[in-house]
Amino acid sequence: MLKNIPPIISPELMSILMRMGHGDEIVLADGNFPAESCAQRVVRADGHGVIPLLDAIMQFFPLDTFVDHPASVMQPVNDDAMEPPIWSDYRRVLAAHEGHEVELRPIERFRFYDFAKSAYAIVATGETAIYANLILKKGVVMA
């Protein structure tokens, strides 16, 4: 154990976060997401929800400020579906860590899978909320 590292972040996940470079993407996937069939690298976070994991990751993870959409979510299949409630939690957590509102870009389901396949890693969580999949694009640390 190390000081000030949230215990929800496993050694494997911390290693992934540190190895990622500017522009690399990480997927925080809900429990229904086909992580194993989409991923180049899978980090298991079974039993954990996306919100506490996101909050812990954002303590270390700079979002890319050079792109229009550093955060993307999987769009519900039904066009008339209401926005998934968890998205407002994502906005709250991201804003708290970034110091400003962060827009979530909805991506069609199968296009989202394509993005996930090219992501640096997928974190497979035990999140039970539907449409709780989130892609984050890593930025740079400004000294």
**pLDDT tens per residue across span 58-100:** 999 999 999 999 999 999 999 888 999 999 999 999 999 999 9
pLDDT tens, position by position, 28-50: 999 999 999 998 999 999 999 99
Among residues 67, 47, 42, 44, the alpha carbon closest in space to that of 136 is found at 67
Other Cβ atoms within 10 Å of 95 Cβ, number: 12
pLDDT tens, position by position, 95-134: 999 999 999 999 999 999 999 999 999 999 999 999 999 9
Residues carrying an active site annotation = 22, 64, 113
- Could you give the CA distance from residue 99 to residue 115 in angstroms, rounded to a whole number? 26
DSSP E strands, 20-61: 25-29, 42-45
For residue 83, what is the enclosing H or E element?
none
pLDDT given at position 81: 86
Q: What is the DSSP letter of 62?
A: P
Answer whether 91's CB lies under 8 Å from 101's CB. yes
DSSP β-bridge partners for residue 24: none
In the chain, domain spans: 18-137
Answer whether 113's CB lies under 8 Å from 33's CB. no
Q: How far apart are the first and last CA of the chain?
A: 26
Whether pTM exceeds 0.85: yes
Per cent of the chain over pLDDT 90 is 93
Residue 27 three-state SS = strand
pLDDT given at position 99: 96
Answer whether 12's CB lies under 8 Å from 106's CB. no
Superfamily of domain 18-137: RbsD-like domain (3.40.1650.10)
Contacts of 12 (CB under 8 A, 6+ apart): 43
- Could you give the CA distance from residue 75 to residue 52 in angstroms, rounded to a whole number? 22
